[in-house]
Amino acid sequence: MKNRLFGTDGVRGVIGSELNPLFVSKLAVAIGTFFSEGARVLVGADYRPGNEALKRIVEGSLAYTGLKVYDAGFLPTPALQYVVKTQGFDGGVMITASHNPPEYSGVKVIGPTGIEVDRDEERIIEEIFWSEKYRFVNWKNAPDRIERFPDAIDIYVNGVVEKVDVAKIASRNFKVLVDPANNVGALTTPKLLKKLGVKPIVVNGNLDSHPARLPEPIPENLVDTAKLVKLYGCDIGVAHDGDADRAMIIDDEGRVQWGDRTAPLLARHLVVNRGEHGKVYTGVSSSTIIEDLLRPLGVEVVWLKVGSVDIAHAMRRGGDALCGFEENGGFMYPKHQFVRDGAMTTALFLELLAVENKKASELFNELPRLHVLKTKYKMPRETALKIIELVKEEFKGERMITIDGVKVINPDYWVLVRPSGTEPLLRVMIEAKSEELAKQILERVEKYIRGVMNL
């Protein structure tokens, strides 16, 4: 981890301290030097404190490395990624901290495919940053201006609309509650729904750098939103994170559904109702429900390290993906783009409801109900790795996936024990057929945690 700037998804930090103008300008110059001179790069931002100023710092710094810089303004990350991919840009830079609290921002670097640059490319940028081997233009080639690119949102929304059966969706007269967390999803998802013939009801829909709810769309942050879905008689609710690449579905009974419950339904829809084929790519933190639901359809699940960037690149390399997803609400539909896309997820789920003529609650009730335990323990990475080896021995004989920590899979439960990629933590996730069994599995793991840490 020495000299690493990039985390699981981009470079992030607290605005004004970690992410200050000096650091950001140096990072942007390193990014500009990474791209070839003359490359066309699109820059955008979500709506966080200081992001407009950060965007200008980034744009100016990129321009002085000899890039042709275009300003897309405020928009979701998947909108910028879609435009980069489809409009001939050589790359993009997105100013966002996704689901992090409002005091954070960050920088994502997008390649020409619309996917964030891969891990090897991140290290090249980091090497430029630390070595300060920058490229600058001379005064004769200094940039005259930054070009505006005002059509990004319309290009993106129309791209989503083209991928689904609009007539089928419109025929159902759906009503959808949208919660974009006072951020850029407010600029796209309501517009998309109207084009699909759906009535949107928007809450937390003003661009506000001090949002009414925290940006991460998890059940504890969506209590009031979930109540409104049922109160207003909506068919579903959709809650985004700050940059709207994630979409958590709230069913008509007001239940917030995790992404690894939504994704199996969407994957089955792609196979059964749309006649599509391929493998499903997901991180080891996702539920094994996906295997149980898709095995009868002959669909293989590819388990990967946690992180949307790695999943996206794996799908693109494989060339055989039906879809990809994360349990946090990130769903990836390669026929649209390889990255997480909250608006595309919403459109596909509405198409599913329209085609099967069922309520969202009925579809989710068809999935098995498992008891979930998620916890974490503060410790150095070296200690976490020792515990993981002991857990492997404890559960020997069971099916294991060891690509990221260890995931033990049994017909009655699964347990994942893995070190955090960004913090000195050991994370433990369990799903079991009963609460009692989940607690028993956790005790089998915790005895090693207590032993190694002398607790």
> Could you report the per-residue pLDDT of 267-319, keeping only the tens digit for each?
999 999 999 999 999 999 999 999 999 999 999 999 999 999 999 999 999 99
CA distance 377 to 335: 39
CA distance 145 to 241: 32
| In the block, residue with structure tokens 């000299």 | 3
pLDDT band per the 50, 70, 90 thresholds, residue 112? very high
Catalytic residue among 17, 25, 61, 98: 98
Q: Give me the mean pLDDT over the 9-17 stretch.
A: 92
- Residue 117: φ, ψ to 5°: -55, 150
CA distance 117 to 316: 13
pLDDT band per the 50, 70, 90 thresholds, residue 123? very high
Q: What is the pLDDT of residue 229?
A: 98
Counting Cβ atoms within 10 Å, is residue 10 exposed (0-12), middle (13-18) or buried (19+)? buried
Q: What is the pLDDT of residue 141?
A: 84
pLDDT digits (tens, 9 = 90+) for 49-95: 999 999 999 999 999 999 999 999 999 999 999 999 999 999 999 99
- Residue 259: φ, ψ to 5°: -65, -30
User: pTM here?
Assistant: 0.94
Distances (CA, A) of 253 to 112, 222, 259: 41, 14, 17
pLDDT averaged over the chain?
96
Q: 390-395, long-range: CB within 8 Å, 24+ apart, which pairs?
A: 390/448, 390/451, 390/452, 391/415, 391/417, 391/445, 391/448, 394/444, 394/445, 394/448, 395/444
Write the CB contacts of 436 (distance below 8 Å, at least 6 apart in sequence). none
pLDDT digits (tens, 9 = 90+) for 158-180: 999 999 999 999 999 999 999 99
Counting Cβ atoms within 10 Å, is residue 26 exposed (0-12), middle (13-18) or buried (19+)? middle
Q: What is the pLDDT of residue 1?
A: 47
Q: Which letter does DSSP use for residue 15 in this model? A: B
pLDDT digits (tens, 9 = 90+) for 239-250: 999 999 999 999
Q: What is the pLDDT of residue 209?
A: 85
Q: Which letter does DSSP use for residue 339 in this model? A: S
Would you call 98 a catalytic residue per the annotation?
A: yes
Which domains can be identified in the chain, with CATH numbers? 11-150 (3.40.120.10), 155-365 (3.40.120.10), 371-453 (3.30.310.50)
CA distance 324 to 311: 7
Q: How many helices (H) and strands (E) does the chain have?
A: 15, 20
pLDDT digits (tens, 9 = 90+) for 264-278: 999 999 999 999 999
